[in-house]
Amino acid sequence: MLPYVAEEVKEDICRIIARLDRRLNDVDIQKIIDNVWSLHAMGLANVGTGFLISNGYVITAYHVVKNAGRIDCQIPSGNEIHLDLFRYSEPYDIALLKPEITWSRGVNISRRVPTPTKGELVFTYGYPLGYRGPEPILSVGFLSGVCEEGSVKKLVANIAFNVGNSGGPLFNLRGQLLGIVRAKYYVALDPMLRNILREGLSRIVFRVQYTERVQYPVTLGDVIERLIKWVADNVQVNIGEAVSVKHLIELLSE
């Protein structure tokens, strides 16, 4: 059943490219993908996952596109499509994006929220940071639990969520959308040690150049902090969370 259901929804998935620094607005998407580790670590660009729904909007996590000067997506065929931010909810971490064109039928969103069951098999598609192919990567695991944080209902899954999977769909084996991938759990560095490393090395400055016209000053403290972030991003922790589809339904109803 999984291969059939997964194949049915694969074409609805896309890679989200959000340029956070407007000087990157004219930089080719492939160049951003090729340099995504450094651009992401320096807070200059985000790459995440999105998916088309049947009413024509693309859904992703709001933190992927927040403060973006330009948003585009790359679909499984490799083609690129421009997106505009239409509506979002910061508490739910959901963004609705309007694409220039639609490329598939899209995921159907029922007004009836599926009941998630602890222990059931779930899967997601996504674009892990550093992966360069146009087709999304399938990840499969189990639903570990359901919890509430304030007004936000979250699904916890034992699945390979990676940086870049944020904004992707979480499905059950019936192909029903359960939630939108929000985050993986991190192994965190002590904040005091992070501050000591950053402040102590803040006077040694380098310049990093991405194109002939785009370059950025970087301190050694920045380099150390980005290295710490890189390590944290790449530590594989097979536990992550998704925000419940019920919050997407609420946002679509506004």
Report the pLDDT value the prediction gives residue 64, as an integer from 0 to 100.
96
Q: At what angle do helices 191-200 and 220-234 cross, to 10 degrees?
A: 150
How much is the pLDDT for 230?
59
Q: How many CB atoms lie within 10 A of CB 183?
A: 17
DSSP-derived 3-state class of residue 9: helix
For the chain, give every domain's residue range.
2-185+237-253, 191-234
Grouped pLDDT means (10 residues each) for the chain, 254 residues: 88 96 89 86 90 97 96 96 97 97 94 89 91 92 90 89 90 94 62 55 55 63 63 61 92 86
Query: What are 157-179's pLDDT values in tens digits?
Result: 988 778 889 999 999 999 999 99
Q: How much is the pLDDT for 110?
A: 82
* Cβ-contact 69, 6 below 8 angstroms: no
- Within 10 angstroms of residue 52's Cβ, the number of other Cβ atoms is 25
Find out whether 75 and 14 touch, Cβ atoms under 8 Å: yes
| Six token digits for residue 91 | 């508490």
Q: What is the pLDDT of residue 216?
A: 63
- Enter the DSSP assignment of 196: H
CATH number of this structure's domain 2-185+237-253:
2.40.10.120
State residue 53's pLDDT score: 97
Q: Which two tokens stand for residue 251?
A: 């946002």
